[in-house]
Each structure stands twice: as C-alpha cells, then as structure tokens.
C-alpha cells in the first residue's frame, strides 16, 4: 500500500488480497489484484495525485463485482453448461437438455 493510505483502504486491500487467495490465486497475483483495485478506488475518490482517464470514467470495481456476483434467477445458460461439459469432456453432451447437462456436471 502507498504511504499515507487511509485505514479504510488498508482494510480494503487486505480483504481483496485474502479473497483472491481463497479463490486459489498465487500470493503475487493476489497482491497485484488488490493493489490495482485499491489504487483505482483511490483515484476515483480523488485520493491520489494522478489518475488515468479509465480509472475515473470506467465503472467502479465494486459495482462491477456486484454485477457479476450472481448468475441470476435461472442459473447458468444451456450454452454455458455445454461449454463446461465440453471442457470436462463429458460424452453425449450434444444430445443433452439443460437439466441433463446440469445433472451431468453435478
């Protein structure tokens, strides 16, 4: 974290870093993700000396995470399920319905 960061940004950094580690990301990558996210939030809030245009004009990382945090009422689409079945090399996937794909994927 940069010198002079607020306690809130320190907590935010640690939370993001811990969350990334729980998802199985390496320590180095987790540190990078946390630093980039916090730096962007600092720029958006006017807490940094310099800021890129995308840091200010782009959708905030917390909003973007909120938009992606769930898959909606219907869950994954048949196309998403099929793609996952293809990655896992499940036989007979092309003839399966959405329900059958969900069952095959577990």
Q: What is the pLDDT of residue 52?
A: 80
pTM given for the model: 0.54
Q: What is the pLDDT of residue 74?
A: 66
Q: Name every residue whose Cβ is closer than 8 Å to that of residue 41 and which is 6 or more positions away in sequence.
A: 9, 12, 60, 61, 62
Domain spans of the chain? 7-67, 71-106
Q: Model confidence over 50-67: pLDDT tens digits?
A: 888 777 777 777 777 777
Cα 37 to chain centroid distance, Å, stands at 11
Q: What is the pLDDT of residue 27?
A: 95
């Amino acid at each position: 974290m940069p010198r002079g960061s607020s306690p809130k940004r320190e907590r935010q950094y640690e939370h993001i870093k811990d969350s990334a580690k729980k998802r199985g990301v390496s320590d180095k990558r987790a540190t990078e993700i946390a630093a980039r996210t916090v730096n962007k939030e600092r720029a958006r809030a006017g807490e940094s000396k310099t800021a890129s245009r995308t840091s200010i004009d782009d959708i905030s990382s917390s909003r973007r995470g909120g938009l992606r945090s769930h898959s909606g009422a219907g869950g994954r689409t048949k196309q998403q399920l099929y793609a996952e079945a293809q990655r896992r090399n499940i036989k007979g996937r092309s003839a399966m319905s959405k329900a059958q794909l969900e069952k095959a994927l577990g």
